[in-house]
Copies of this chain bind each other. A is one copy, B any other.
Amino acid sequence: MISAKPFDFPYDGNLIPAATALIVIDLQEDFLSPTGYFARGGYDPSPLRAILPTVNRLIAACRAAGIRVIHTRQGYRGDLADMTPYEKWRRTRAGLAGTTVLLRSSPGFQIVPEIDVAADDIIVDKTCNSAFTYTDFEHVLRAQGITHLLFSGCTTDVCVHTTLREACDRNFQCLTISDACASGDQLAHEAALHMVTVENGIFGALSDSRSVIDGLARLKARQAR
């Protein structure tokens, strides 16, 4: 059981590692590097970089507890087949026409080397903000018997929240880890965390990395007994 608000996670106290995954959203070069999509758009990527040690501590704790780690990566197909005329217009407007920013064929698409990606982690590539839309994310979760999701990554207000909202609508049990998420827009980040808890947890529960790590340690201790 993980201490959280407005209620502990999971709600029924039944945390099963094999049915749980740590979701690490979009910790890619394009979002975190000083020359990537975000930095070019005028956003300071340092809040995103600041969570990397926390995310790694969570990854280590989850692995030790037998919880699967799933990374997502955002980017258009290298052939641009999934890019609409509107998105092309937005790219041009943002000064990105002709660049490889946010393309899967580009080095910027890679997860930053600071993040501990293991050989048996699962990686899901997506074009949309939601990891569920037009991908095999739900397929993988159902195939693995995963029903409980712990959310981390960037940005809190865009891709984390869109994926979280879809996960709730599809009845996954969701916990957002406040200090393992970040955004280039601090107001949006804080508001996104607040929104999780409205209507007594409309988007599940909200916790922090310490509570998650403590909860997993207690779980392990109990299993060892």
Contacts and interface: CB of A to CB of B under 8 A. Distances in A.
Given A158-B202, A166-B130, A86 B135 contact: no
A63 to B, nearest CB: 16
A218 interface: no
Number of copies: 4
Interface in A135-161: 135-136, 138-140, 142-144, 157-158, 161
Interface residues of A, number: 56
A84 B171 contact: yes
A153 to B, nearest CB: 16
A195 interface: yes
Contacts of A158: 195, 198-199, 202
Contacts of A202: 129, 158
Interface of A: 7, 11-12, 41, 43, 77, 79, 81-86, 89-90, 93-94, 120, 122, 127-130, 133-136, 138-140, 142-144, 157-158, 161-162, 165-166, 168-171, 173, 185, 187-188, 191-192, 194-195, 198-202
